[in-house]
Amino acid sequence: MWPFIKSCCWEKTKQKTSSQQANQELAEVLNQLWQLDSNRLRPGTDYIISLQGRAGYVAQGSNYARDRARAPLFTYVNEDKLKSIETYAHFINLLDNYEMSTGVSETVTSEELQENKLFINSLLETDVMKCAHKYLVRMGQSPSDPAQFKRQLYDIWFRLYHRERGGGEDSCGFEHVFVGETKFGQEIMGLHNWVQFYLQEKHGHVDYKGYKARDNKDTPDEDDHVLNLQFSCKGLVKPVGGCFIGVSPEFEVALFTIIFLMSTEKMTSVVVKVDEYKLELVVYRHGRSIGTSFPKLLSSNNRDL
């Protein structure tokens, strides 16, 4: 019996070591993506945010939240710079292609299909996505042929699926994560992207309620590139949503594609340090596509949140 116990213990230790090694490799590649993200905007220069107050508790399903932020989150964004960068320009073109309500079938026109492809093509031109592709090929998760990899990205992010039973194909990963959706007109889902947040806030559709943190000692900085936020969109309150701030579209697509392809589980969650941020990166799977993906800021500059 003893050899069996020793064998079991050895197997567990081996598995733990293997898991730690995989997490170390993942941390290394995600930090490489961070360093390669030359299209990340600079806080205080390319954009300015105003964090204001710490948001309070809101029960899931409630649409009342005390407003701890009288002013918008974004004080300034250099839109000319945004639109001059190819990936951002193609990204912004996609934001008006979707019907926000789940249960309502999406219709993809030939023009929208072309916009999707132009966006993916522009991603593959960046060092960030080239690095992610190289890593995924090495890990046996993606085809080395760029055309086949583009097809894989399309299926992960743009392939339409049923989010609500009984309806048509009403959703896709890109729409949920980057655009945002409403459920039966009663709940806001997704909307984890800073560019969409800024544009919706500018048009009066989003109302920032304050940052989320455990207590007043955990106040985030206005140069932080990851925030936990509370907001309402068209009157529907999101009690808390994690969001990168200032990062490029290619960085987010690359990062969440890697997490998605790491596992076949319904939900994958990894805790990793990227630059100065300790993050929990969460991805939900919907078949061969992303259901949702978002960052949770756990700590920054050694602040435990």
pLDDT digits (tens, 9 = 90+) for 101-121: 544 555 677 888 899 999 999
Residue listed under structure tokens 């993606």? 142
pLDDT band for position 43 (50/70/90)?
very high
Instruction: Identify the H or E element spanning 100.
Output: none
Indicate the pairing of strand 236-244 with strand 267-274: unpaired
Q: Which residues pair with 260 in a beta bridge?
A: none
Helix (H, G, I), strand (E, B) or coil at 254: helix
Largest CA distance in the chain: 71
What pLDDT was estimated at residue 103?
47
Integer Cα distance of 143 and 162 in angstroms: 27
Tens of pLDDT, residue by residue over 191-241, are: 999 999 999 999 999 999 999 987 655 678 899 999 999 999 888 999 999
Distances (CA, A) of 35 to 125, 148, 181, 248: 16, 26, 31, 12
**How many residues does this entry show for the chain?**
305
Tokens of 227: 């925030």
> Residue 305: pLDDT above 60?
no
Tokens of 24: 């170390």
Indicate the pairing of strand 226-233 with strand 267-274: unpaired
Among the listed residues 72, 94, 79, the one whose alpha carbon sits nearest the alpha carbon of residue 41: 79
Tens of pLDDT, residue by residue over 89-105, are: 999 999 986 665 544 55
Sign of CA dihedral 103, 109, 112, 114: positive
What pLDDT was estimated at residue 185?
73
Q: Which residue numbers are catalytic?
A: 176, 192, 238
The arrangement of strands across the sheet holding 303-304 comes to 267-274, 277-286, 289-300, 303-304
**Are the CB atoms for 170 and 105 separated by under 8 Å?**
yes
Tens of pLDDT, residue by residue over 44-78, are: 999 999 999 999 998 877 888 899 999 999 999 99
pTM of structure: 0.89
